[in-house]
Amino acid sequence: MKTKTLYIIALIGVIVWLAVQTFQPSLHDPNAVPRTVTARGDLASDEQNTIDIFRKSAPSVVYITSIAVRRDFFSLNVYEIPQGTGSGFIWDTQGRVVTNYHVISDASRLEVTLADHSTWKAVLVGAAPDRDLAVLQINAPADKLQAIAIGESDNLLVGQKVFAIGNPFGLDQTLTTGVVSALGREIKAVTGRTIHDVIQTDAAINPGNSGGPLLDSAGRLIGVNTAIYSPSGASSGIGFAVPVGEVNRVVPQIISKGKMIRPGLGITLANRRLTRELGLEGVMVLRVLPGSTAARAGLRGTTQKREGLVLGDIILAVNGKAVKDYDSLRDAIERYDVGQQVTLTLMRDTSPIDVAVELEAMD
């Protein structure tokens, strides 16, 4: 009886389904064809410009993989693991690549992947950690190397368009756009030193963009994407780039010397604690190195005489910019090049004086 009831229910279900199919119109049209495309005309001029910038600049942008060596705790075997990734750009047809120092700082081995997806072993030419810049060398043939166009950063304006090309999250050749949000920002390098006159942009900069180029609307390099301000580690509309003026000053030094050549005065300075204990403002000169440009300019160091301590010159300003300690003095001096002349405002005895001093190369 139970089986017969189930049979009747199933039969009724089939009859209902057939009835629905018979009286319901079909949802499928065997004669369906694609819709006619509505013509939109030419691309807007700003769209075409963005496309042209990417096409022209992308071949200059590279993908950098840093590889670290680790030793297995149990077997003591040595093995390699990916340490991190970042971006960079081709500086010249001799195979030099510029990137951030923090991208390659802990690497045991480096690889550079070009826009054509060929990968090349890279060696470190040199670095300027205080500027978060590094130069790598690859042995790719010149016909694979398209050097990036160099622009200017001194005449940038807030609001002008910028374009960032890089490899965020390992994605190949990604373009983001935005504007210059602010100028004259300061950020900290991995060494703790301050990088001055940094460009702030709202172009999306994510992990993997570091070391890549920030371009103007002519496709010229105006900065090296370096950092983002984000609690989550993803772009929050606040990115920073080292200005190309600093890059164009530091990179040739790295290529020729393997490091940034620091300008200096040839003096030894008192530490902040001693200066504070003496109740002084500025930076006190402890010793003037014999034969230095400071010695030739007549700067005076601190001396100990029978009657007591005779204070040396106290540096108050460099070219009119006030300095209060060693770090601010070094920052002020490093805005200039070796061989340039700066005017030091000194407190000598009880009177302020100005003295011109030529900057010399320091180790």
Check residue 81 and give its pLDDT.
Answer: 42
Mean pLDDT score, 107-115: 87
Active-site annotation holds for 196: no
> pLDDT tens digits, residue range 223-269?
999 876 655 555 566 889 999 999 999 999 999 988 888 888 888 88
Per annotation, catalytic residue among 57, 60, 181, 210? 210
**DSSP symbol at 204:** -
CA distance 264 to 270: 16
> pLDDT exceeding 70 applies to what percent of the chain?
85
Lowest mean pLDDT among 47-56, 284-293, 301-310, 352-361: 301-310
pTM score, whole prediction: 0.76
Domains of the chain by start residue, with CATH: 55-144 (2.40.10.10), 161-260 (2.40.10.10), 263-362 (2.30.42.10)
CB 249 within 8 A of CB 255: no
Q: What 3-state class would DSSP assign to 75?
A: coil
- The DSSP symbol for 150 reads B
Annotation says 28 is catalytic: no
Note if 117 is an active site residue. Answer: no
Q: With CA atoms as reference, report the closest residue to 241 among 203, 200, 208.
A: 200
How many angstroms separate the CA atoms of 344 and 177, rounded? 43
Residue 163, CB-side half-sphere exposure with 13 Å CA sphere: 24
Q: Which of these is catalytic: 66, 102, 181, 331?
A: 102
Give the DSSP letter string of 318-361. Answer: ETTEE--SHHHHHHHHTTS-TT-EEEEEEEETTEEEEEEEE-EE
- Mean pLDDT estimate for the chain: 83
Report whether pLDDT(91) > 50. Answer: yes
Instruction: Give the tens place of pLDDT for each residue, 296-348.
Output: 988 888 887 776 678 888 898 999 888 888 778 888 888 888 888 999 988 88
How would residue 74 be classed by pLDDT, with cut points 50, 70 and 90?
very low
The tens digit of pLDDT for each residue in 144-169 reads 999 999 999 889 999 999 999 988 66
